[in-house]
């Protein structure tokens, strides 16, 4: 999730399409990452949108996000997650959820 959120803002409904988790589990996981200082969020209609907070007040979060941004680019699972994200964006899941 964090790797994708370093690249694009993603709403809960879009994350639900990408990962095989319940809507509530996706929301809990994203909220936990936000509470820890890794993410920021805003509302877009009824959707809650998250993105990695590379300017986080927490220096440890910034360091982890910086490391993650330059890691795992050749990982097949990350590639598959990116493919699913592209498909989800093409379906305009967020626009349909508003």
Query: What confidence tens digit (pLDDT) does each residue in 6-27 have?
Result: 999 999 989 988 998 998 999 9
Contacts of 60 by beta carbon, 8 Å cutoff, 6+ apart: 37
Query: DSSP class of residue 55?
Result: T
Share of the chain above pLDDT 90, in %: 79
Query: What confidence tens digit (pLDDT) does each residue in 39-62 have?
Result: 999 998 888 999 999 999 999 999
Any idea where the domains of the chain sit in the sequence?
2-97
CA geometry: angle 90, 96, 98, nearest 5 deg: 130
* Beta-bridge partner residues of 44: 47
Nearest partner of 60 among 76, 36, 82, 80, judged by Cα:
36
Say if residues 62 and 55 touch (Cβ distance below 8 Å).
Answer: yes
pTM for the model stands at 0.86
- Spelled out in words, what is the top-level CATH class assigned to the domain 2-97? mainly alpha
DSSP string computed for 59-86? HHHHHHHHHHHTS-TT-HHHHHHHHHHH
């Amino acid at each position: 999730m964090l790797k994708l959120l370093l690249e694009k803002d993603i709403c809960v409904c879009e994350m639900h399409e990408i990962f095989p988790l319940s809507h509530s589990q996706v929301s809990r996981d994203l909220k936990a990452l936000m509470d820890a200082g890794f993410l920021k969020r805003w509302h877009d209609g009824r959707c809650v949108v998250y993105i990695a907070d590379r300017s986080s007040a927490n220096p440890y979060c910034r360091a982890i996000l910086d490391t993650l941004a330059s890691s795992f680019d050749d990982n097949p699972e990350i590639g598959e997650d990116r493919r699913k994200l592209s498909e989800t964006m093409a379906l305009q899941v967020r626009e349909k959820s508003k």
